[in-house]
Amino acid sequence: MASRADADTLPALHQGPLYWFSDWPTGNVPSVGSIVYTIWNRAGAFIYVGMAGRNGISSAKPKGPFGRLESHASGRRSGNQFCIYVCDRFVLSRVHNRIAEIAEGTLSLDRLTREFIRAELGFRFVLVEDSTKACQVERLLQRGEWVHGRPILNPMVSK
């Protein structure tokens, strides 16, 4: 289960302010530092957990955590595993009868993914001391070691 060090981190990831992607940019997401974030749907289901800011508080990488969530909000699937998961699990089932339009290039899966993310999903985040801590918390939640169980899109399955 969660360590004492997670006593402050975990509540923020399920009880802290929920920022909707429909309002992006929102939440004053930092551009430096390390964060852990959780993504939720409008029904309150735990969809995804991630981390950003691998270089810690002193990170000078452009946009850092802000850039990661901005990328999610964009819906662009190229290079974004979260957007691929959203498209595969939530968008494709809604457009199965429009495959010809997608194949012709008249209907964009990226646009549909963005529309879904903006209409249905929100996030919570917490700043942590470094990327090692962020990765530890991300893995803890992927294993389902908290009240909400495993995330729908990126669970870690025990061997």
Q: pLDDT value at position 96?
A: 87
Domains of the chain, by residue range, sit at: 4-142
Token output for 123:
């996030």
pTM for this predicted structure: 0.90
What is the band of 62 on the pLDDT scale with cuts at 50, 70, 90? low
pLDDT tens per residue, range 113-155: 999 999 999 999 999 999 999 999 999 999 999 999 999 999 9
DSSP-derived secondary structure for the chain: ---GGGTTHHHHHHHS--EEGGG-S-TT--SSSEEEEEEEETT--EEEEEEE-TT-TT--STTHHHHHHHHHHH---TT-HHHHHHIIIIIGGGSGGGHHHHHHTSS-HHHHHHHHHHHHEEEEEEEES-HHHHHHHHHHHHTT-STT-S-SSSPPPP-
Burial status of residue 141 (CB atoms within 10 A of its CB: 0-12, 13-18, 19 or more):
buried
